[in-house]
Amino acid sequence: MQPAADIARSKGPLSIGPLSIGIDIGTSGARAVAMRPDFSIAARSAVPLDRFGQNAPDPSVWWSAVGAALTELLSGIDRAAVRSIAVDGTSGTLLPVDGTGRPLAEPLMYNDKVDDDAILAVIAREAPAASAALGATSGLAKALRFQRRPGVAAVLHQADWIAGQFSGRFTVSDENNALKTGYDVEARRWPDWIAATGMRMELLPRVVKPGDITGTISASAADLFGLARDVAVVAGTTDGCASFLATGAAAVGDGVTALGSSLTIKILSDRPISAPQFGIYSHRLGDAYLAGGASNSGGKVLAQHFPLARIIELSAAIDPMTETGLDYYPLPAVGERFPVADPALPPRLTPRPADDADYLKGMLEGIAEIEALGYRRLAELGAPRLNSVRSVGGGAAAGTARLALMGAIEAGLL
């Protein structure tokens, strides 16, 4: 696989030969990447969500941003060369839809909590102790709440719904997005205990492996974007897993830290590692597992204090060889998911130094300490020895393009 640094450099002009497209829909915007069979990037694009409205949990805003990013991407490549497309989304973001895929309520985002004590109690009673479906932000808690909506035909993850806009099918998910909704990635099925929570199993999507072809693009989507009607729609993944794939990490012990709105840490393991008490769970990727978790710390808390231009300016004044001595735990609000699972954990961002550069540096040091604690926690729980750490930000679309490419190769489309 091609290293992340090489991916970033290989932009290339107008594409020659077949292409696969990966789309990432995140908390701040939509990104798209067109990838060649050698894993080099032919084109990329990015569109912020706020171009279409301030409400991030609005599916119409998601789709508008995705459409704009894809249109921009296609303007720089040969549309006839596109053979497959895949989508990743934020892990644990769900919404209820009717039989046509029309949203019936505002989605609950990855970090939204279900405040229904009865729902949380029944999951705690029925779920195995190591299940990623435990907790107020779990996908299963959201699904149980959404199944009460009149006219609901399915409860989908964010990536499922976007992929459905391309395929016309709102019935399929992937193993990575389904994990926090209770899917058993080792047995590769929805476990029986989920029905005991009162969940209507017919509302849950069919689950396939990331990279599996789920069908072809619908005629309406093909016409909308000027694509051939035999373009394959490939099962995607979560944003965190996609960021891992984008780096080219492929060996047991490879770790990836993804800094976006939140901080995600994953290590490739030969066995699953689950510890909900620390916010740790394992996604399945082929015959291996991506063990890790997502902290609420990250870019979002930085953006609360400084605009991007100011962060860039202040960063130039930071000496990474010295330490501030500040003991920060940067959070955008009360509550943490990983490596400490504590919904009452407050942000720790005082005392504030007079120098803004020192304040930013203190926050960055705090984020780095959370990263280090995350990898230590994984090691304590039996993760393989950490051989390398790659850092990535905003690379999820490239990882999803890899899935689209591999799915097309396996199906003989390339």
User: Residue 215's Cα: distance from chain center in Å?
Assistant: 22
Would you put residue 341 in left (φ > 0), alpha (ψ -120 to 50) or beta?
beta
DSSP 414: -
The residues with which 89 forms a beta bridge, in sequence order, are 238
C-alpha dihedral over 143, 114, 96, 204, to 10 degrees? -10
Pairing mode, strands 172-174 and 206-208:
parallel
CATH superfamily of the domain spanning 252-386 = ATPase, nucleotide binding domain (3.30.420.40)
Q: Say which CATH topology domain 4-241+394-410 has.
A: Nucleotidyltransferase; domain 5 (3.30.420)
Residue 400, classed as helix, strand or coil, is: helix
Q: Which two tokens stand for residue 48?
A: 């912020």
> SS3 string of 212-236?
CEEEECCHHHHHHHCCCCCCEEEEE
Q: How many Å apart are CA 372 and CA 381, to the nearest integer? A: 15
What are the distances in angstroms from CA 106 to CA 92, 146, 372?
14, 10, 36
| 227 Cβ contact partners less than 8 Å away, ≥ 6 residues apart | 74, 79, 82, 217, 221
**Using CA atoms, how far apart are residues 151 and 147, in angstroms rounded to an integer?**
9
Task: Write the burial class of residue 178 (CB in 10 Å: 0-12 exposed, 13-18 middle, 19+ buried).
Answer: buried
Are the C-beta atoms of residues 356 and 306 closer than 8 Å to each other?
A: yes
Domain with CATH 3.30.420.40 in the chain: 4-241+394-410, 252-386
User: Residue 223's CB: how many other CB atoms inside 10 A?
Assistant: 11
- pLDDT by residue for the chain (414 residues), tens digit each? 333 333 333 344 455 689 999 999 988 899 999 999 999 999 999 999 989 876 668 999 999 999 999 999 999 999 999 999 999 999 999 999 999 999 999 999 988 999 999 999 999 999 999 999 998 999 999 999 999 999 999 999 999 999 999 999 999 999 999 999 999 999 999 999 999 999 999 999 999 999 999 999 999 999 999 999 999 999 999 998 998 999 989 999 999 998 888 899 999 999 999 998 899 999 998 899 999 999 999 999 999 999 999 999 999 999 999 999 999 999 999 999 999 989 899 999 999 999 999 999 999 999 999 999 999 999 999 999 999 999 887 678 899 998 898 888 888 887
Hunting for tokens 């939204």 — which residue is that?
Answer: 112
State the Cα–Cα distance between residues 94 and 143, nearest whole angstrom.
Answer: 7
pTM, two decimals, is: 0.87
